[in-house]
Structures are given as C-alpha cells and as structure tokens.
Structure 1
Amino acid sequence: MSMRLHHVPMTRSFRILWLLQEMGETPEVLTYAIQDGSLRAPDYLERSPAGRVPALEVDGTVIYESGAITEYLVETRPDHGLGRLPGDPERVPFLEAMHYAETQAHLIANLNLQWIFLRDPSHRSDTVVKIEARRLQATLAPMEARLAGQEWFLASGFSAADTMMGWNLLAAPRYVRFDQFPNLRAYVERMKARPAFKAAQALDGAPNFHREEFYAVGEA
C-alpha cells in the first residue's frame, strides 16, 4: 500500500521516515518549508490541524503527531517487532519513551522559536534561552544513565522508542553541549550506523532553517 509522508527536513517527521525504513517501507515524501507558510495552507491544515509535520497518509486515512503515527504503525505492523504491545513486559517503558520524547522535543521547539523563528531577533529572551537549554540538559541526564548499561532505550533491543527518542539526540546538540554525555554520543554513533537510518537520511533532504551548528547566548 502506498504511503505519503508530509515532511520538513531535520524535524520530528524524520522519526517516521526512519521508522518506515526500519519496516522496509519507503513513502512518497512531500517536502515543506516552515518559513514559507505552506504548513498553514487550508489543504494542509485539513491533514494536520496545528500546521505541523509529520502527517502520514496510510491505510486510507491521515494521521498526524509523530507519537500517534508511531504507535499506529507498530500496532498495525507488529511483525517487525518495533513496538511493545499490551501484555509485553516492556509496554510501560515503551509508552513512557513515546511521551518523554515529546516532552523533550517541546523544549527543542521552544529553543528553535527563540533562536530561529522570531521575526525580530531582538525579541529573543536570553533568560528564556538559558532556562530552556538547562531544562533540555536535565532531560538528557536520565537518558545518559539508562544507556550506561544497554545499547538501546529498551533493554530488549532496538525499537520504535529509538526512532522517537533518537531524533531528539540529533537536534539537542544545537543547544546543549554533549561533552558531558559519553553514553549518548556513543548511542548516536550506533544509531547513525544502522542501514535504515542511513536510508532515511538519504530521503530526508537538507535542513532548511538552521543557520548555526550551536546556539548559545553570546555565541550567536
């Protein structure tokens, strides 16, 4: 069955691009730019009411929100073993990862707003930037501890918890220095070595809104 993914490079929609590659599925990718207003067009808002990516057309319906899409895909395609279904002993940590990933991504989105998307940079608040970067750093510490004793976010091995959480670890280093997180750095290298990750990167496209490799007060 054909799939269409509404996508912006190097955003949360990469989670779905990567997950589908892990499942051996390559969707038709429709690429947007955040800055040009295309995500606010009426026809797109019918697919994703908040005007955000991803939205996935699959199985005759349109699903938005990366966590919802992920849960739907792993539940409707269980043979890939990427979900943890009801009754699985890792069901709770799997669901926690789905939602923790969004808690963390919200902080990244706030930092994106402050550093990149404010029309007038003078409106950026250094206080807000510092607080949000510290909060993001604090969310990374438990992940660093978890990965001290295992390769992936679930003890049993790779899962869609990694496609959800892994994207955050590509975005967070623009705002938090990763020198203090050796386990997360090693995790990112394992993640990037996966064939499906490489295939998803090839489909992703060039990031079209970041201007700096690292954003910090006094450095941008």
Structure 2
Amino acid sequence: MITLHHVPQSRSMRVLWLLNELEVEFGIAPHPLDGSLRDPAFLSLSPAGRVPALEIEGERMFEATAIMEYLCEKFPERGLGRAPTDPDRMAWLVWLHFADTVTGCVDVLRRAHAEGAAGMMRDELVRLRRCYDAIEGRLSTPVENRDYLLTSGFSACDIAVGQAVYMARHFLAIEAWPELTAWYARITERDTFEAALPSPDAARMFTQEFYEVPNG
C-alpha cells in the first residue's frame, strides 16, 4: 500500500500528479495548515516537518524529487523515468531536480511577501525570471517534436517542473515566455493534473491568485 502525506498546492502535489500518471493504487493522508506537521507522529515520517512524506511497503520516504525518482524506477512500465542507459537520463535528472530550484524561489517569495520585504521579493523575482529563461531556452531548442522537456517525450520532469511553475505563477506570470506558456498549457490539460488540484473546499497554501510586490 502507498500512502501520500499531502498538503494542497505544496511540493506533495507533484508526487500526487505522478501517482495519478502511474495509475497505481494509493491513498492520501491530508494535512491541514495548522502546525500539525510539527507533531512527533509526522516528524517520524519527515524529520523537517514538511510534505511530501510517502509510506510504501512498510518504509517511509521524504523529499519530493527523491520520491519521484524512486516511483519512476519502481513502476518503469509507464515510461515516466529514464534508465541509466537511456540517452536522456542526464537531462532527466537535471530537469527533475531543477524543479526544486524553481520552488526554492517560491519559498523565498512567500516568506518575503508575508514579511512585507519588497526588496527581497524583487531580488528573488530576478532569480525566478532566470529559471523561466532556462525553461524557455530548453523548450526553444531546435529539435523535432520539442513538446516536452526531454526529446524522448513526456516524463516526470514535466510533472516536477510543471508543478513548480504552477506555484511560481502566483508571483510571476509566464505569458512573456511563449514556449514556456505553450508547454505549461499542454501539460496542464492532462486529466492527471486536474486530479491533483485542490478540491474547492480544501485549505490552500496560496490564498490569493497573485501576490504583488508590496509598496516600499
């Protein structure tokens, strides 16, 4: 049995999306945004008190991209990972983990906005623009069928980076990056993405659609 410990709109959303794509049986242990992630019971699953945490076959995992890498290797038949002998293996690893670079920017932006730290937000938006530039550059590479981050097609990279961009769009719109915009629309049309979105009555990590830089 697989159980995903999940907070809507957080990093655990990318694992939920992946599990939907893998079409495996799993359950969700939802967590509210009330400090319960610091309870000893949850800290035994994720020592930093963060989601996702995954319980699988009597073991526990934490760290989203590690979980994604493991699940792709455990269920290779869906073709969302890339084996060590695959020509796209290096790129797969790079882009899978690049999702955490994007999300790191989001973490700083959330904290800076909460503190009214306009200068910190502006500095981090520069870094986030560079991340968007990197994705745009990758998707603009003149190769046949560049619909996804890998030449070989849709993979867990698109899930991880796509969900990171989903979070980042709360602070920086993507429309100025045309290839990124088209790719994001393409991957978020999937039913598996829709199934990973928070339900209408769920507590959300983002309470606004967009967060402006505070005055000052």
Same fold (TM over 0.5): yes
- Matched letter for residue 179 of structure 1: E
Residue range with higher mean Cα deviation, 194-203 or 51-60: 194-203
Q: Work out whether 1:7 is the aligned partner of 2:44.
A: no
Residue range with higher mean Cα deviation, 58-67 or 24-33: 24-33
After superposition, the C-alpha distances for 1:79-135 in whole angstroms (9 at most, x for unaligned) are 11110111111110011012211111111111112224xxxx4xx321111101111
What are structure 2's unaligned runs of at least 5 residues? Answer: none
2:23 aligned partner: 24
Q: Work out whether 1:181 is the aligned partner of 2:177.
A: yes
- Matched letter for residue 165 of structure 2: L
CA distance in 2, matches of 1:63, 1:74: 14
After superposition, the C-alpha distances for 1:188-215 in whole angstroms (9 at most, x for unaligned) are 2111211222233367973523232221
CA distance in 1, matches of 2:201, 2:109: 22
Secondary structure of the equivalent of 1:56?
Answer: strand
- Matched letter for residue 87 of structure 2: P
Q: Work out whether 1:148 is the aligned partner of 2:140.
A: yes
Q: Work out whether 1:212 is the aligned partner of 2:208.
A: yes
% identity of equivalent residues: 38
Segments of 4+ moved more than 6 angstroms:
202-205
Preserved contact between residue 4 and residue 29 of structure 1 (Cα < 8 Å):
yes
Secondary structure of the equivalent of 2:60?
Answer: strand
Preserved contact between residue 6 and residue 31 of structure 2 (Cα < 8 Å):
yes
What are structure 1's unaligned runs of at least 5 residues? Answer: none
CA distance in 1, matches of 2:108, 2:64: 18
1:129 aligned partner: 121
Taking structure 1 as reference, are residues 137 and 102 closer, same or farther at Cα in structure 2, changes over 3 Å only? same
Paired residue for 1:63, among 47, 52, 61?
Answer: 61
Paired residue for 1:195, among 191, 196, 216?
Answer: 191
Preserved contact between residue 169 and residue 210 of structure 2 (Cα < 8 Å):
yes
Secondary structure of the equivalent of 2:28?
Answer: strand
CA distance in 2, matches of 1:113, 1:204: 25
Question: What do you get for the CA RMSD once the two structures are aligned?
Answer: 2.0
Preserved contact between residue 103 and residue 164 of structure 2 (Cα < 8 Å):
yes
Taking structure 1 as reference, are residues 142 and 176 closer, same or farther at Cα in structure 2, changes over 3 Å only? same
CA distance in 1, matches of 2:123, 2:62: 29
Secondary structure of the equivalent of 1:15?
Answer: helix
